[in-house]
Amino acid sequence: MSTGRVRSVSSTPFSEFLSGCRGIFPLVVGAIPFGIIYGTLAASSGLSLAGTLAMSAFVFAGSSQFIAIGLLASGTVVPLIILTTFFVNLRHLLYSISIVPHVQQLSQSWKLPLGFLLTDEAFVTAIDRYNQPDSSPYKHWYQLGASTFMYLNWILCTWIGVTIGHQISNAAEWGLDFAMSATFIGMIIPYLKSRSMLLSVVSAGIMALLMYELPHQLGLILATLTGIFVGAFIERLNSRR
Amino acid sequence: MNMNEFILILGMALVTFLIRYPIIGMSGRIKLSPQFLQLLSYVPPAVLTAIVVPAVLIPTGDQILLDYTNARLIGAIAAILVGVWRKNLLLTIVVGMVAFFAWQWLLSFT
């Protein structure tokens, strides 16, 4: 299920960029309905057209944008929405740490866009490429291609949502947000190749349910950490045997 | 765009960027131990699962719904089966979505 296994030693920046676009394509498809309902809902939450598009262009973090417009519609004050955004997006910290070994040789003019565009989808796609055994010196071009495609698609879908939103007033009730769950399930499955990964995922899932009531997405962070430590612990047990 | 919106978007953009970028920005000076790298290899599936499981099993946001009236659960099961069987990401997403919508449509008759 992973992307672009076969790659010759003669990869070029451009070929890597294109493979990145290809690699993230399924996730881009999965993000389309999500982006469209975001645009639709934002319009009805009171956010202006410019504000809705600006949020997609400058924040570029789907789930936090969703929560923000929900809070906005219910009259939550701005500082509290920003604080919630911080907690919802805190998981990206783990992504940026994970990407460290692969980007540390790059210049700041590379690190800046790669950091700004670091979404769930771009991260999972890029880390898959970085972990492939070939020694292509242009793997960061792959990440740039994947990230850029995701970004442009997100803005386009937001625009479509805002434009056609009023014509499909009850779009939110269709459950299009399930597209995100289906996408994430597809992203998880290729990882489940060992017992430690399986147990990591199961424990993260159970903890996420148990901790669901905690405020500020704290449950998400705790469940993630549980999954990480359970997985690593089982792996160490196995390797000692 | 009014002032309130401007501050909201600026603030959200800033906190998000300050989570995503700084570690990458100073990555040249960071050295991670093999033990730590091993922990990090569990990050992607653990985060994604922690997001998906409540989204699927707590569809209304208040209680766990573990029966056939939960169309998300049916869609998720379909996605898992196809994902494990065919190992094709796009197919997994599409089949999951179709199963979810079909089930929701069927439920509308009950």
Report residue A50's pLDDT band, with 50, 70 and 90 as the boundaries: very high
Interchain contact, B100 vs A59, CB within 8 Å? no
| Euclidean distance between CA atoms B13 and B24, whole angstroms | 17
Q: Does A85 touch chain B (CB under 8 A)?
A: yes
- The rounded mean pLDDT for chain A is 90
pTM score: 0.87
A1-29 confidence digits (pLDDT tens): 444 455 555 789 999 999 999 999 999 99
Q: With CB atoms and an 8 Å threshold, state whether A54 touches B9.
A: yes
A204 vs B46: CB contact, 8 Å cut-off? Answer: yes
Q: Which of A68, A103, A124 sits opposite B44 (nearest CB)?
A: A124
pLDDT, mean of residues B79-97: 93
Chain-wide mean pLDDT for chain B?
93
At A72, the amino acid letter reads L
Residue of chain A minimizing CA distance to B56: A181
The pLDDT score that the predictor gives to residue A2 is 47
The fraction of chain B above a pLDDT of 70, given in percent, is: 100
- Sequence ranges of the domains in chain B: 1-30, 32-107
Q: Using an 8 Å CB-CB cutoff, list chain B residues near A95.
A: 20, 43
ipTM for the predicted complex: 0.91
On whether the CB atoms of residues A125 and A102 are closer than 8 A, the answer is: no
Name the band, by pLDDT with cuts 50, 70 and 90, for residue B60: confident
* Residue among B1, B16, B22 whose CB faces A85 most closely: B16
- Whether B68 has its CB under 8 Å from any CB of chain A: the answer is no
